[in-house]
Amino acid sequence: MFDIRNLSKVYIMGDVPVKALDDVSFTIDTGDMACIMGKSGSGKSTLLRQLGLLDQPTSGEIYLDGQEVTKLAETARATLRLQHLGYVFQEYALLAELTAHENVYLPGMMLGGKDTDYKRKGKELLDLVGLGQRIHHYPRELSGGEQQRVAIARALINSPRVIFADEPCANLDTISSKRVMETLVSLNRDVKVTVLFVSHDPDDKKYARNVLIMSDGKIVDRVSNPNV
């Protein structure tokens, strides 16, 4: 699915260039459950933003299903994001004034489909993540783990090829974290969506088929877990 070639990202902090990614190259297969792991500041979230087309690299190439995407116009990148990529953020990013159901189907509205179709799919996705009984609840009425599962359902509304999850359990307790990660694993297994998530918790290695270890903007190791 992904072929990353010599990817670099440099930020200018005042007058000082800071290299967040340093000549990174690797591949991710379709259907993988992969984790990018490393300490804070290692470059893992920066890398995820490049792969998710949320930011532009300073140099290098990203191929998504054989298409080089770093040089696309922003309108084309936005279309790819909306139609083929799903995102789960650390802070949930739910709209407080919308119900769980409305938060889930909102991206579907942006594609201009029939409201009966995306509303029906929104209900199905909330059932899929175990929140069918919470469909009319607002974010303030849900636990952190429940809000994150709503965010996962929202990420699936447009049937994405890949889900990007940036520290999805960072704000959750142990039980909620386990439920969220098991939800991502089941979606990868049953729905066949590729999942690429970022974590700094070594315990999360057990959920990933492949683990990319980052340090100082480089991938320093790759560990496979064929039992996942």
- Asked if residue 113 has pLDDT above 80, the reply is no
DSSP-derived 3-state class of residue 32: coil
CATH number of 2-94+160-224: 3.40.50.300
List 89's β-bridge partners, or say none: none
In this predicted structure, the answer to whether residue 227 has a pLDDT above a threshold of 80 is no
- The alpha helices in the chain, defined as continuous H runs, are 44-51, 74-84, 100-109, 115-128, 144-155, 174-190
What CA–CA distance (Å, rounded) separates 61 from 55? 13
Query: Does residue 144 contact residue 171 with C-beta atoms inside 8 Å?
Result: yes
CB 111 within 8 A of CB 157: no
Entry pTM? 0.89
pLDDT of residue 13: 87
Per the CB < 8 A criterion, the answer to whether 84 and 134 are in contact is no
The residues, ordered by sequence, that sit 6+ positions from 224 with a Cβ below 8 Å of its Cβ are 209, 210, 211
Query: Where residue 228 falls among pLDDT bands split at 50, 70, 90?
Result: confident
Contact 203, 225 (CB under 8 A): no
- Please give the pLDDT value at position 112: 76
pLDDT digits (tens, 9 = 90+) for 166-218: 999 988 899 999 999 999 999 999 989 999 999 988 889 999 999 999 999 99
- Give the pLDDT confidence of 33-88 residue by residue, as tens digits: 999 999 988 999 999 999 999 999 999 999 999 999 999 999 999 999 988 999 99
Quote the pLDDT of residue 63: 96
Alpha-carbon torsion 119, 121, 124, 126, what sign? negative
Chain length of the chain: 228
Q: List the chain domain ranges.
A: 2-94+160-224
In angstroms, the CA 171 to CA 92 distance is 9
